[in-house]
Amino acid sequence: MKWLKVFALFCVLHIVGWAGAHFYKSKNPQQVLIVADTSFALKARYPDMQQWIENYADDSRYRQIIIGTDKATIGNLSDVKSIDSIFRVSFGRSDASSLKRYDSLQVEERIFLSDGDFTVPGWTHIKF
């Protein structure tokens, strides 16, 4: 009978711990910034970039994703009606100075989707 009490206590502690973690992470999601390079040279890679963003969003339960391009900030990914709207306009080359507009955002992770022509410290680069 003692082992049943110990097992029940273990189950209760496990459930309380899981519920506490779920509640905390739901109220305090991790802020992630994803910036897509919309240079004309990458136009053929837009479907791959779009698929990467969709896969990342599907696997981000406790994250709030802010989406943008090297030209402008779009906003929360959950508020974007279609991911296609991210890649509507393509022109010009992207460079490190185009990412300076995002320096003021308070996020835990910064991801830049590009062809890898340049790197910026503090950003995770995904090469397409």
Question: What is the token pair recorded at 89?
Answer: 């306009």
Tokens of residue 25, six digits:
């992470």
- Tens of each residue's pLDDT in the chain, 128 residues: 899 999 999 999 999 999 999 999 999 999 999 999 988 888 889 999 999 999 999 988 899 999 999 888 898 998 888 888 888 877 777 888 888 889 889 999 999 999 877 888 999 999 99
Residue 45 contacts by C-beta under 8 Å, 6 or more apart in sequence? Answer: 115, 128
Q: What pLDDT shows up at residue 17?
A: 96
- Third-level CATH fold of 29-127: Rossmann fold (3.40.50)
pLDDT value, residue 98: 85
Q: What CA–CA distance (Å, rounded) separates 98 from 78?
A: 24
* Separation of alpha carbons 90 and 69, rounded Å: 10
Cβ atoms 35, 109 nearer than 8 A: no
Amino acid 47: pLDDT: 92
Helix (H) or strand (E) segment spanning residue 29? none
DSSP codes, 85-123: GGGS---S---GGGGGGGTTS--SEEEEEE-SS---TT-
For the chain, the structural domain boundaries read 29-127
